[in-house]
Amino acid sequence: MSRIDGKIALVTGAARGLGAATARRFAEAGAKVVITDLNEAGGEETATAIREAGGDCMFLRQDVTNEAEWPTVIDAVVKQFGGLDVLVNNAGIWMSSSIEEMTLADWRHITAINMDSVFLGTRAAIGAIKARAHMWPGGGSIINISSVAGLRGAAFASSYNATKGAVKLFTKAAALEFASLGYKVRVNSVHPAVIQTNMADALINDFARIGGNSSNETRGTMMSRHPMGGFGKPADIANGCLYLASCDSAFSTGTELVIDGGMTA
Ligand SMILES: NC(=O)c1ccc[n+]([C@@H]2O[C@H](COP(=O)([O-])OP(=O)(O)OC[C@H]3O[C@@H](n4cnc5c(N)ncnc54)[C@H](O)[C@@H]3O)[C@@H](O)[C@H]2O)c1
């Protein structure tokens, strides 16, 4: 029996990138997976690929910033699969801006997607997750995707830093609150360094523009900041999420799983 065999998981922002890799990994390990995203074509494509590989997967369109959509999504998951055991709050965007030039609308846009969604998702899912938590050693699991940018600052990334730092501490507070209430639901954060996805390309292009360097030069500089040599792969993060979703991490709550090739060591 695999480590999350039979569990029911919801992964947000899973049309591509880290969310898609995590959904694939969960399905391979025997979980039933619901993936959500704004990108309907990409989400359907990812869900179809997972089903074609033998997994059990459904796509739902969701804007994670929309408060009203959250209960609808959770109800649909419970109706389709009979409950919910794991939530991965993964959907997120990158934004770089100088503080002097950033508008309040820019700030609110990224905080809504990267930060508000984590609260909305946790609040909407906790009832369903705790209802089945007695079934598993270590109970249910909520996994919030933060970043190394939630551990330390970077110039021209203040809004991204602020959202990812907030996710880190919201995670710890939720972990303690649910433990104190006697819920068997663990809450942990994951902190990737640069992982090769579309977001990483956007980040490299932004820093190249800000620094007045070519994208290739900037890519090389950024790679050199990862002592293990280069960027991570989506599967590196998916494997970390698998651990936190599984019964193997039964005693871990409020922890920060840093997956960064040694960058912050
Ligand atoms: N790739 C990296 O280097 C890296 C490093 C650290 C942390 N992260 C974090 O990992 C998560 C995934 O990043 P990624 O690299 O896979 O990015 P990505 O851009 O490849 O994928 C993000 C997905 O989120 C979806 N999304 C965006 N806004 C949404 C919304 N309002 N509602 C629903 N879905 C929405 C997008 O459509 C997209 O499919 C993000 O939270 C990101 O901040 C990524």
Q: What is the pLDDT confidence band of residue 3, given thresholds at 50, 70 and 90?
A: confident
For the CA of 42, the nearest atom of ligand 1: 39
End-to-end CA distance of the chain: 35
Pocket test for ligand 1, best of 45, 197, 218 (most atoms within 8 A of CB): 197
DSSP 232: B
The whole-angstrom separation of Cα 9 and Cα 255 is 20
Question: What DSSP letter does each residue of 80-101 carry, written as one string?
Answer: HHS---EEEE-------B-TTT
Which one is catalytic: 59, 81, 156, 160?
A: 160
For the segment 50-54, the average pLDDT, to the nearest whole number, is: 98
Q: What is the mean pLDDT of residues 18-40?
A: 98
In the reported structure, the alpha carbon of residue 137 is separated from the centroid of ligand 1 by a whole-number distance in angstroms of 30
What is the band of 1 on the pLDDT scale with cuts at 50, 70, 90? very low
**According to the model, what pLDDT value does residue 100 have?**
98
pLDDT band at 29 (very low <50, low <70, confident <90, very high): very high
At position 32, the amino acid (one-letter code) is K
**Contact of 168 with 237, CB cutoff 8 Å:** no
Ligand 1 pocket, mutate which of 36, 148, 199 (most atoms under 8 A from CB): 199
Q: Is the pLDDT of residue 169 over 80?
A: yes
Centre of ligand 1 from the C-alpha of residue 64, in Å: 11
Is 12's pLDDT higher than 70? yes
Does residue 154 surpass a pLDDT of 70?
yes
* Ligand 1 centre distance from Cα of residue 134 (Å): 31
Q: How far is the CA of 1 from the centre of ligand 1 (A)?
A: 31
Q: Which residues contact 73 (CB under 8 A, 6 or more apart)?
A: 10, 34, 36, 60, 62, 124
pTM of the predicted structure, to 2 decimals: 0.98
Distance 181 CA to ligand 1 centre (A): 31
Domain ranges of the chain: 8-193+233-259, 196-231
Q: Which two tokens stand for residue 4?
A: 């999350």
What's the whole-number mean pLDDT along residues 163-175? 99
User: What's the average model confidence in pLDDT over 124-139?
Assistant: 97
At 96 the pLDDT is 97
Q: Is 161 in the pocket of ligand 1 (CB under 6 A)?
A: no
CA 218 – CA 81 distance, rounded (Å): 45
Minimal CA–CA distance to 163: which of 207, 105, 117? 117
177 pLDDT band, cuts 50/70/90, is very high
pLDDT of 256 higher than 70: yes
Q: In the CATH scheme, what is the homologous superfamily, with its name and number, of domain 8-193+233-259?
A: NAD(P)-binding Rossmann-like Domain (3.40.50.720)
Pocket-testing residue among 16, 18, 147, ligand 1, by greatest number of atoms within 8 A of Cβ = 18
Mean pLDDT of the chain: 97
Q: E strands within 147-201?
A: 185-192
Residue corresponding to tokens 């070519």: 214
Cβ of 62 less than 6 Å from ligand 1: yes
Cβ(21) – ligand 1 distance below 6 Å: no
Told to judge if 160 belongs to the known catalytic residues of this protein, a careful annotator would answer yes
Q: How many CA atoms lie within 13 A of 14 on its CB side?
A: 33
Confidence check: pLDDT of 166 > 80: yes
Q: Tell whether ligand 1 has an atom less than 6 A from the beta carbon of residue 48.
A: no
pLDDT tens track for 222-244: 999 999 999 999 999 999 999 99
Query: Do strands 185-192 and 140-145 pair parallel, antiparallel, or not at all (unpaired)?
Result: parallel
pLDDT at 2: 58
Which residue lies with its CA nearest to atom 19 of ligand 1?
199
Task: Please give the distance, rounded to the nearest whole angstrom, from the Cα atom of residue 52 to the centre of ligand 1.
Answer: 24
